[in-house]
Homo-oligomer: A and B are copies of this chain.
Amino acid sequence: MKAKITLKDIARELEVSISTVSKALKNSEEISRDTKEKVQAFAKLYNYKPNNIAISLKNKRTKNIGVVIPDIVHHFFTTVIRGIEKYANARGYNVIVCLSEESFDKEVINMEMLANGSIDGFIMSLSSETQQKGDFNHLKEVTEQGIPVVLFDRITNEIDCDKVIIDDELGAYMATKKFIEQGKKNIALITTDDYLSVSKARTMGYIRALEESDLGVDESKVLKLPSMEMDEKSIKKFMDSQELDAVLCVNEIFAVYSMRLAQQKGLKIPEDISFIGFTDGLLSKYANPSLTVVSQHGERMGEVSAKMLIDQVESEEEEETYQTKILEPTLVIRDSIFH
């Protein structure tokens, strides 16, 4: 086992001072050509690499960014992470991922763990429990300490920081309007409780599209599940209870599952009943029929979030001016609706 070599080792071996070695490796003007060559050759030979921790301690920059998300086994979050990772890596940053698993306590613990010097900034999406409680003190504390935070997708207006979201209202509006244009009359919405910021916005888009049309809103055609967790029973009951010819779902799982229910009843998709979901994941692509979705562009969202965060981390002046980027959703047309 060859242990890592340090500046001190090089200095001792070459009989110069640590400072000389440090400067020589940085090609400082101060050091003579001779010494520099000697030091650099020696360093290369023994594969010297500076210790990241020591550097972090010195310049109070870790080059790590903390990502706190509710769940990783969810296609949307996965793509966001990928976007963050790609962008951050390109700028020399590493990504520390923490999962809150939709729990407020875990979110708090994770943030506290990372806030003590481990990271330069946070990118996060709130857990459902946090959004439900409306308690954002952990975020406040962190921002007050001057640690930059970027909130994405599941955000709150109570915290002053950069934010990245897609226009969920618009996404749902576009989807619903599509149904209307295709002559659908009984358009349902399967969503979750309003405390989830995204669900609330989507519901609003659905309502706006219907109100702009002759159809109007029928409350009984809206199913609000308590969470994003799959709840087969409630969906089945809802789907069985009425005649529908179009269903908008707040995620792809709900959509694919309800498609199957419809098929079991002998309905033809999209002729008898059409479906649109949110999240452009594998499921939508490979479902049968393939599912039309509102794409949230997770990877893009990740990149944008990472850019905003790193720009802030690296900016000297602490700018008290935060922005909210709103990404446009797009409809990815597949076989679950008419082309």
Contacts and interface: CB of A to CB of B under 8 A. Distances in A.
A3 interface: yes
Q: How many copies does the complex hold?
A: 2
A286 B3 contact: no
Contact of A116 (B51, B78, B259, B318): B51
Interface stretch (A13-21, A22-30, A96-104, A177-185): A96-104
A333 to B, nearest CB: 18
Interface stretch (A37-45, A56-64, A190-198, A307-315): A56-64
A79 interface: yes
A49 interface: yes
A253 B94 contact: no
B146 A52 contact: no
Nearest to A110: B89
Given A2-B145, A94-B114, A97-B81, A62 B53 contact: yes
Contacts of A144: 1-2
B50 A116 contact: yes
B94 A96 contact: yes
Interface string A81-105: 1100110010000111111000000
A288 interface: yes
B98 A85 contact: yes
A260 interface: yes
A113 interface: yes
Contact of A73 (B78, B145, B146, B318): B78
Interface string A195-233: 000000000000000000000000000000000000000
Contacts of A3: 145-146
A117 interface: yes
**Residue in A4, A81, A95, A97 whose Cβ sees the most chain B Cβ within 10 Å:** A97
Task: Return the 4 tightest CB-CB contacts between A and B, nearest first.
Answer: A53-B117, A51-B117, A52-B117, A256-B286
7 contacts: A75-B282, A81-B97, A89-B99, A94-B96, A97-B97, A257-B286, A283-B283
